[in-house]
């Protein structure tokens, strides 16, 4: 056992960086008594002070909390190649440059830890990496963006518009001034790329993950869906499929009894599925400064006590095209109020092999609508049917569709 | 890096032992590529074959799946004292002999892993031990017995009696032929002792954990409670309190929006709370052979890659007496149908400082009842009031009371 302190070099001293520095000093005694070494800061790099080379040379591990790609990428690669364990919360970096980061960790025979990059304080990375290291993970899915989950919860609860709920989220600090990457699904896609890489031991980068956001969701959709007992969530899904995999992010209706349906507000939740474990769900608040700092500190304690290395080169994986992935769908049609409308719509769906699970006719005259839920069908087939329906003369507006997770909760 | 295989000595070859042996061989390739060493069985000890000394000498780690106290205790102590990491699923052993096991691990400068002893495949031990090693855990609570959770879910869903739901649980394999230690709360108490030790870094044994079971629960209680929006669960709670701690197991009503209220059937779920992390909930199926084997294998992979040791001697902790712990309460009184009954009951409650949150009068004549929910109050004070009420001449039967968790879910 090494007697000296464990020296941590900190890159970045913003909200998370300073919260981490404070937490490290607050918990140093407890960590020393549990892990046998005392962690301490060996240096802090900010825009205005500190020199990376000196910090690297005088540290046992590097914590990267600068964020963004440059210069975080260069520092991370140099630390790993020099054999220093790296702890980071940087989802952009991991999802866009994962291949070279993990290659650098293998070169340096050291480890890369990134619990704080995904799902805040919910320890899904560690659980996959360690607890289920012996399991073959089939599917990872969940709610990995707290901003959009807050907005959708608020829209459903109060009937607020998307814009109104977003403004409220910004007031409460759940959404940033520029929420683009949260609401368009890109943030969730980056996190799903990171989780999919870990689950499937494969190269998955942001560009492999198609994503849709929640900007087009209307209170209307939420209202009608309620009648079917459906709750809307922005879902990230990574699953093995046909010898390959599919990783994607989209707004999706869940039945009320689904374990993720009850996850409200700015919370995150991730479900892991494998034959050996059946399924395990982890949930908790999304990232905030203190939560992120706590997740980073957990990783620091791990690299202190375990000299692990990244060993497995990432495999190449075939990504199943979106059009071949099966889903159930909700379909909302504003139609003319005339006899035979439902029959004509049903005919087009049937021709395309799309089978209707339930349908409700709403409104009269200029307000007539068909609100339908379909059985599972390949997405390409469904899109083809919707295209054909959109060309029928009976349509008063473009069709609106949202995916649906069909399984009910079997508790 | 050591080139040779990682030799695992297996004690016990029952349901879990044989599932573990099969899973180890199935996953050996994947573990080798991820962890750099190949795990393999060095020997198996059963009642009829194998010699413990030989297995110990030829193993890098010992997996104890015999169960019960003797001879598991002796083998576990000898393995740890010899410096061999021990992985066990044995909750009896850990909850009754935890102090000496952890002392032996410190003597042997090795580690004791026991994920499978609590909450099946839900990785709560690892998450507390590693992810939240840097956090000060205030409270751990949850559903840690799948048998009772199935029975209570079934009673609420179908109106079945306790005996009827138990019989159904036995049919489905969710309850053993002798379910005593599940239904009386002792199994959950053992698990809470293990979790409390870990959360508070303190000596907690089974005898420190008062427990109540679910044998006395009637469909009546569940029906009335529904009107208040309450769901009944057998809850384990470990919390820091007044400079000490309280660890206990009891049937408890939760409001419908509580995150644990939605955990149905044979599922387990545990919520961890600390200031740094707010709260994190982990849920999944309770223990079955394959799930337990998967949790054991996760621990084996950990001891392969991390030469950690148990370092921290357990602190002594003051346990707060049950009568000083505050709860809200549900109270069910079969009373005479006469004017002034509610006033007399309310008077006794008021005298004892117990304040009523809501009350419903049910039935007429020989079927008259008061069903009440109280605000939080010290348990001793509430019991005193109930004693006094039970002596009133207006009572037709002994009062029935059940604790209630007051907080509504803030999602």
Give the start-end residues of each E strand in A256-290: 267-274, 278-285
- A384: closest CA of chain B, how far (Å): 38
B294 and A134 in contact by Cβ < 8 A? Answer: yes
- A238: closest CA of chain B, how far (Å): 19
Could you give the CA distance from residue B65 to residue B17 in angstroms, rounded to a whole number? Answer: 6
Q: Does B19 touch chain A (CB under 8 A)?
A: no
Cβ atoms of A309 and A110 within 8 Å: the answer is: yes
Q: Are residues A38 and A185 in the same domain?
A: no
> What value does the mean pLDDT take over residues B313-333?
89
Alpha carbon A1 to chain centroid distance? 39
Report whether pLDDT(A80) > 60.
yes
In a domain, A394, yes or no: yes
Name the residue facing B23 among A134, A153, A267 (closest C-beta). Answer: A134
pLDDT recorded at residue A411 = 32
Could you give the CA distance from residue A124 to residue B190 in angstroms, rounded to a whole number? Answer: 26
End-to-end CA distance of chain A: 47
- B229: closest CA of chain A, how far (Å): 16
In a domain, A305, yes or no: no
Helix then strand count (H, E) for chain B reads 13, 15
- The pair of structure tokens assigned to B94 is 């850990």
Could you give the CA distance from residue B81 to residue B74 in angstroms, rounded to a whole number? Answer: 11
Please report, for the domain that includes residue B178, its CATH number.
3.30.360.10
Question: Which residues 310-369 of A are in CB contact (within 8 Å) with B?
Answer: 311-312
Please report, for the domain that includes residue A372, its CATH number.
3.30.70.260
Q: Are residues B220 and B183 in the same domain?
A: yes
Could you give the CA distance from residue A45 to residue B171 in angstroms, rounded to a whole number? Answer: 63
The model's pLDDT over B207-243, given as tens digits with 9 standing for 90+, comes to: 999 999 999 999 988 887 777 788 999 999 999 998 8
Nearest in space to B216 (alpha carbons), one of B151, B157, B267: B151
Catalytic machinery residues of B:
191
Q: pLDDT band for position A339 (50/70/90)?
A: confident
A35 and B311 in contact by Cβ < 8 A? Answer: yes
Q: Does residue A191 have an active-site annotation?
A: yes
Cβ atoms of A310 and A105 within 8 Å: the answer is: yes
End-to-end CA distance of chain B: 47
Which of A84, A186, A191, A233 is catalytic? The answer is A191
- The pair of structure tokens assigned to B152 is 């209570």
> What value does the mean pLDDT take over residues B263-267?
89
Of A99, A117, A135, the last residue of a domain is A117
> What value does the mean pLDDT take over residues B283-296?
83
DSSP B177-202: SS-HHHHTSHHHHHHHHHHHHHHHTB
DSSP A166-202: HHHHHHTTSS-SS-HHHHTSHHHHHHHHHHHHHHHTB
Q: pLDDT band for position B406 (50/70/90)?
A: low
The model's pLDDT over B159-178, given as tens digits with 9 standing for 90+, comes to: 999 999 999 999 998 998 99
How many CB atoms within 10 Å of residue B358?
12
Which residues on adjacent β-strands are paired with residue B64? B11, B88
> What value does the mean pLDDT take over residues B244-263?
89
Report whether pLDDT(A410) > 50.
no
Q: pLDDT band for position A31 (50/70/90)?
A: confident
In a domain, B411, yes or no: no
B298 and A263 in contact by Cβ < 8 A? Answer: no
Q: Which residues contact B319 (CB under 8 A, 6 or more apart)?
A: B208, B244, B245, B246, B247
Give the alpha-carbon dihedral of A14, A20, A26, A29, to 10 degrees: -150
Q: Are residues A247 and A138 in the same domain?
A: yes
Report whether pLDDT(B5) > 60.
yes
SS3 content of chain A, % helix, strand, coil (to 5): 40, 25, 35
Q: Are residues A158 and A265 in the same domain?
A: yes
Q: How many domains does chain A have?
A: 3
Could you give the CA distance from residue B272 to residue B275 in angstroms, rounded to a whole number? Answer: 10
Helix then strand count (H, E) for chain A reads 13, 15
Q: Are residues A56 and A171 in the same domain?
A: no
Name the pTM for this structure. Answer: 0.87
Nearest in space to B133 (alpha carbons), one of A66, A303, A124: A303
Q: Are residues A160 and A106 in the same domain?
A: no
In a domain, B291, yes or no: no
Cβ atoms of A249 and A209 within 8 Å: the answer is: yes
> What value does the mean pLDDT take over residues B71-87?
97
Cβ atoms of B126 and A306 within 8 Å: the answer is: no
Q: Does B309 touch chain A (CB under 8 A)?
A: yes
Alpha carbon B390 to chain centroid distance? 32
Report whether pLDDT(A409) > 50.
no
Q: What is the rounded average pLDDT for all residues in chain B?
A: 90
Q: Are residues A181 and A257 in the same domain?
A: yes
Report whether pLDDT(B1) > 70.
no
Report whether pLDDT(A3) > 70.
no
Q: pLDDT band for position A210 (50/70/90)?
A: very high
- The pair of structure tokens assigned to B329 is 């309460």
Burial of A99 (0-12, 13-18, 19+ CB in 10 A): middle
- B59: closest CA of chain A, how far (Å): 20
Cβ atoms of B139 and B237 within 8 Å: the answer is: yes
Q: Are residues B37 and B80 in the same domain?
A: yes
Could you give the CA distance from residue B200 to residue B128 in angstroms, rounded to a whole number? Answer: 10
Q: Are residues B373 and B257 in the same domain?
A: no
Sign of the CA dihedral running A249, A254, A260, A263: positive
A410 and B295 in contact by Cβ < 8 A? Answer: no
Of A71, A93, A117, the last residue of a domain is A117
ipTM summary value: 0.83
Q: Are residues A78 and A176 in the same domain?
A: no
In a domain, A129, yes or no: yes
A281 and B283 in contact by Cβ < 8 A? Answer: yes
Please report, for the domain that includes residue B84, its CATH number.
3.40.50.720
H or E stretch covering A387 = helix A379-390
Report whether pLDDT(A346) > 60.
yes
Q: Does A153 touch chain B (CB under 8 A)?
A: yes
The model's pLDDT over A233-270, given as tens digits with 9 standing for 90+, comes to: 999 999 999 889 999 999 999 987 788 888 988 899 99
In a domain, B96, yes or no: yes
**Sequence-ordered alpha helix ranges (H) in B117-204:** 124-126, 146-158, 162-171, 180-183, 186-200
**Sequence-ordered alpha helix ranges (H) in B287-396:** 289-305, 341-351, 379-390
B280 and A122 in contact by Cβ < 8 A? Answer: yes
Sign of the CA dihedral running B29, B33, B35, B36: positive
pLDDT recorded at residue B33 = 79
Task: Report the share of chain B in percent with pLDDT over 90.
Answer: 67
In a domain, A307, yes or no: no
The model's pLDDT over B184-203, given as tens digits with 9 standing for 90+, comes to: 999 999 999 999 999 998 99
> What value does the mean pLDDT take over residues A345-367?
90
pLDDT recorded at residue A152 = 95
Domain limits at B396? 322-405
> What value does the mean pLDDT take over residues A376-384?
95
∠A33-A36-A41 over CA atoms, to 5°? 90
In a domain, B308, yes or no: no
Q: What is the rounded average pLDDT for all residues in chain A?
A: 90
Nearest in space to B114 (alpha carbons), one of B140, B87, B93, B92: B87
Q: Does A277 touch chain B (CB under 8 A)?
A: yes
Report whether pLDDT(B408) > 70.
no
Nearest in space to B172 (alpha carbons), one of B143, B151, B142: B151
- B311: closest CA of chain A, how far (Å): 6
- The pair of structure tokens assigned to A16 is 């998370």
> What value does the mean pLDDT take over residues A388-394?
94
Q: pLDDT band for position A1 (50/70/90)?
A: very low
DSSP A147-159: HHHHHHHHHHHH-
Q: How far is CA B379 from CA A90, A288, B242, in A?
A: 48, 37, 15
- The pair of structure tokens assigned to A84 is 């220093």
Q: Does A33 touch chain B (CB under 8 A)?
A: yes
Could you give the CA distance from residue B33 to residue B304 in angstroms, rounded to a whole number? Answer: 13
**Which of these ranges, A12-16, B34-38, B202-206, B264-268, has the smallest mean pLDDT?**
B34-38
Could you give the CA distance from residue A386 to residue A391 in angstroms, rounded to a whole number? Answer: 9
B263, closest residue in chain A (CA to CA): A411
A136 and B27 in contact by Cβ < 8 A? Answer: yes
Radius of gyration of chain B (CA): 24
Nearest in space to A136 (alpha carbons), one of A84, A227, A199: A199
Task: Report the share of chain B in percent with pLDDT over 70.
Answer: 95
Phi, psi values for residue B125, rounded to 5°: -65, -50
Q: Does A289 touch chain B (CB under 8 A)?
A: no
Cβ atoms of A232 and A252 within 8 Å: the answer is: yes
Of B117, B146, B176, the last residue of a domain is B117
Where do we find the tokens 């021990």? B86
Q: Are residues A165 and A141 in the same domain?
A: yes
Q: Are residues B344 and B270 in the same domain?
A: no
The model's pLDDT over A283-310, given as tens digits with 9 standing for 90+, comes to: 998 767 778 898 899 899 888 877 666 7
Could you give the CA distance from residue A366 to residue B118 in angstroms, rounded to a whole number? Answer: 60
Q: Does B224 touch chain A (CB under 8 A)?
A: no
């Amino acid at each position: 056992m090494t007697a000296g302190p464990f020296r941590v070099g900190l890159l970045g001293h913003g909200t998370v960086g300073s919260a981490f520095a404070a937490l490290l000093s607050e918990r140093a005694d407890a960590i020393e008594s549990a892990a046998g070494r005392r962690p301490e800061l060996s240096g802090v790099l900010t825009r205005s002070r500190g020199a990376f080379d000196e910090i690297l040379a005088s540290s046992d591990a590097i914590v990267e909390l600068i964020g963004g790609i440059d210069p975080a990428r260069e520092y991370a690669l140099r630390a790993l190649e020099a054999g220093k364990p790296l702890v980071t919360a940087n989802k952009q970096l991991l999802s866009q440059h994962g291949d070279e980061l993990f290659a650098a960790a293998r070169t340096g025979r050291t480890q890369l830890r990134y619990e704080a990059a995904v799902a805040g304080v919910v320890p899904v990375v560690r659980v996959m990496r360690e607890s289920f290291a012996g399991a073959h993970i089939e599917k990872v899915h969940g709610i990995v963006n707290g901003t959009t989950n807050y907005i959708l919860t608020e829209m459903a609860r109060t009937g607020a518009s998307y814009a109104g709920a977003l403004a409220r989220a910004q007031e409460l600090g759940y959404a940033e001034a520029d929420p683009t990457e949260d609401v368009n699904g890109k943030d969730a896609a980056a996190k799903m790329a990171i989780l999919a890489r870990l689950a499937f031991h494969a190269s998955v980068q942001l560009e492999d993950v198609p994503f849709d956001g929640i900007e087009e969701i209307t209170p209307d959709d939420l209202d009608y869906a309620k009648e079917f007992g459906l709750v809307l969530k922005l879902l990230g899904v990574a699953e093995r499929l046909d010898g390959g995999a599919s990783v994607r992010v989209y707004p999706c209706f869940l039945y009320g009894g689904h374990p993720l349906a009850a996850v409200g507000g700015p919370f995150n939740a991730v479900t892991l599925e494998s034959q050996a474990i059946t399924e395990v769900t982890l949930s908790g608040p999304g990232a905030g400064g203190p939560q992120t700092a706590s997740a980073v500190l957990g990783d620091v304690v791990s690299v202190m006590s375990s000299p692990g290395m990244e060993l497995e080169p990432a495999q190449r994986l075939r990504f199943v095209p979106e059009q071949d992935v099966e889903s159930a769908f909700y379909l909302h049609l504003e139609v003319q109020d005339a006899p035979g409308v439902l029959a004509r719509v049903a005919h087009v769906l049937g021709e395309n092999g799309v089978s209707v699970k339930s349908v409700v006719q709403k409104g009269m005259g200029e307000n007539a609508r068909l609100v339908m839920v379909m059985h599972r069908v390949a997405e390409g087939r469904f899109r083809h049917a919707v295209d054909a329906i959109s060309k029928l003369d009976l349509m008063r507006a473009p069709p609106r569709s949202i995916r649906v997770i069909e399984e009910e909760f079997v508790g």
